[in-house]
Amino acid sequence: MREKKPLRVALAGCGTVGSGVGEIIVNRAGELAARTGVRFEVGCVLVSDVTRKREVPFPAEVFTDDPQALLASEYDLLVEVIGGTDIARTVVLEALAAGKPVVTANKALLALHGAEVYAAARAGGTCVAFEASCAGGLPIIGPLLRGLQANRVRSIMGIFNSTCNFVLTSMLDGGMSYGDAVQEAQRLGYAEADPTLDVSGGDTAHKLCVLASLALGSNIEYERIARRGIDRLQLTDLRIAREMGYSCKLVGIGRRLTPAPTGQPQQLYLAVRPTLIHCDHLLAGLSGTRSGVLVDGDVVGETFYSGSGAGSLPTASAVVADMIEVATGSAQATFNQLCVYNDCTPPADYVDPEEAEDSYYVRFSFAPHRRADMLADVDHAWRDNPVKRLQTHVSRDDHVVVAITAPVKPKLLGAAVRSVAGHLQLSDEPVMLPVLEARGS
Ligand code: HSE
């Protein structure tokens, strides 16, 4: 392998992901050079506090807390792992304007300002690569940009947020409280600086926005993605879901509803919601920090990607992969050639989420003294209801009756459940969660 001239890197951010990048490119320099012909030299590192002790193998003199000093340093590639949309946006746009390629792990930046970032890269005659922005270490942007180009993607769905998956697994299997599990995810470096973004579904919506824009060929606006997080989920529903053969996960989904040709506005359904997933579904078995993405292409059918969705080294693995793509010229070639980025795709045409049909889990909770009659009461109250029940489950210990419905629009379901609940003496508001069945079940 002929080694190229070292590529000088300006690293913006040296937290969880940045330190992982440092560890890989310093400790594995020889191996990477032998395999790829690429060697990296980190000349400047932007941090918020230069006095803080860090476990990264960079000399003290490379650190600065001044974004302009980073941008004025001698570099060939900017790697942005700060996160957020303030300083990160400034350094990314200025580097691109100066014609420098950018590798970023920043899903919020791309979800909120993607078209601006891509246009700035084009104006600067350079490129932006962002494999690490979605689902950490598992490769998904690469397959969408390259392996699946022959397809018209019909849907993309997945578990995109490791913090939520970790929290739900820790509550159900580890007996942790919701608050303790969120704190543990923060301590282990999975959660965002503000974990509200994780648990409210915002981070999943950022990733869905980036991925669905690429996969479905539309310029999707983040704000148009309907979202609910895990912050109001109850342990009872996680347990009952398991009893019934389902896992409860935070799922992001983007689905094309009309077969419009590429280049035309697409009718898209986009949502982030806690969802019951049938145990035979590929996404159901992902626990802890594992993320997974299922892409349904019209030519290839379903393809599935899974791996560690967060954490220092898994995310840094994706960042370094992009750095190599930039160094070898592949990132630039892909960015120049493909018309799949938000600055060159048509705006999406959004389907009202209230109009999209799904099966639902509906839980009715009764006061303890009513538990002998619960099922008979629900059967009676449901008898003239237009919404069909596919199965009914009774948990006497929890004093609940759960119904799984046939596919129904949320609007119709809401009215039906209110009408049933009106005939029952419930101890709590009914809970409704969408259900994802395994294919063919
Ligand atoms: N907070 C994010 C997560 C980090 O938990 O998935 C990776 O994007």
Report the 3 state secondary structure along 126-174.
CCEECHHHCCCCCCCHHHHHHHCCCCCEEEEEEECCHHHHHHHHHHHHC
C-alpha 185 chain-centroid distance:
16
User: Please, which residues have CB within 8 angstroms of residue 250's CB and are 6 or more apart in sequence?
Assistant: 159, 161, 164, 165, 168, 201, 204, 229, 230, 272, 273, 274, 275
In a mutational test of the pocket of ligand 1, which residue from 162, 186, 187 has the highest number of ligand atoms less than 8 Å from its CB?
162
According to the model, what pLDDT value does residue 112 have? 98
Q: What is the pTM of this model?
A: 0.96
Decide the pairing of beta strands 349-350 and 389-395.
unpaired
Nearest ligand 1 atom to alpha carbon 107? 8
In a mutational test of the pocket of ligand 1, which residue from 82, 134, 140, 161 has the highest number of ligand atoms less than 8 Å from its CB?
161
What spacing in Å lies between the alpha carbon of 112 and ligand 1's midpoint?
17
The tally of CA atoms less than 13 A away on the side-chain side of residue 15 is: 17
- Closest Cα to atom 6, ligand 1: which residue? 161
According to the model, what pLDDT value does residue 439 have? 74
CA angle 234, 196, 433 (to 5 degrees): 35
What spacing in Å lies between the alpha carbon of 304 and ligand 1's midpoint?
19
Nearest ligand 1 atom to alpha carbon 192? 1
Residues with CB under 6 A from ligand 1: 136, 161-163, 190-192, 198, 203, 309-310
Examine the residue annotation and report whether 5 is marked as an active-site residue of this protein. Answer: no
Q: d(Cα 319, Cα 25) in Å, to the nearest integer?
A: 10
Q: d(Cα 77, Cα 75) in Å, to the nearest integer?
A: 6
3-state secondary structure of 102: strand
Q: Which two tokens stand for residue 280?
A: 């035979």
Smallest Cα–Cα separation from 101: which of 39, 8, 25, 3? 8
What spacing in Å lies between the alpha carbon of 98 and ligand 1's midpoint?
30
For CA atoms 407, 230, 159, 206, the dihedral sign is positive
What domains appear along the chain, each with residue ranges and CATH number?
7-135 (3.40.50.720), 141-308+348-353 (3.30.360.10), 357-436 (3.30.70.1110)
Q: d(Cα 292, Cα 305) in Å, to the nearest integer?
A: 6
Q: d(Cα 290, Cα 308) in Å, to the nearest integer?
A: 5
What spacing in Å lies between the alpha carbon of 54 and ligand 1's midpoint?
22
According to the model, what pLDDT value does residue 262 have? 63
Nearest ligand 1 atom to alpha carbon 195? 1
Alpha helices in 39-106 (DSSP H): 67-72, 87-97
Decide the pairing of beta strands 290-297 and 301-308.
antiparallel
According to the model, what pLDDT value does residue 155 have? 96
According to the model, what pLDDT value does residue 397 have? 86
Tens digit of pLDDT per residue, the chain (441 long)? 667 789 999 999 999 999 999 999 999 999 999 999 999 999 999 999 999 988 888 999 999 999 999 999 999 999 999 999 999 999 999 999 999 999 999 999 999 999 999 999 999 999 999 999 999 899 999 999 999 999 999 999 999 999 999 999 999 999 999 999 999 999 999 999 899 999 999 999 999 999 999 999 999 999 999 999 999 999 999 999 999 999 999 999 999 987 656 666 678 999 999 999 999 999 999 999 999 999 999 999 999 999 999 999 999 999 999 999 999 999 999 999 999 999 999 999 999 988 899 999 999 999 888 777 899 999 999 998 999 999 999 998 889 999 999 999 999 999 999 999 999 999 999 999 999 999 755
370 DSSP 8-state letter: G
What spacing in Å lies between the alpha carbon of 308 and ligand 1's midpoint?
10
Selected catalytic residue, list 207, 249, 409, 411:
207
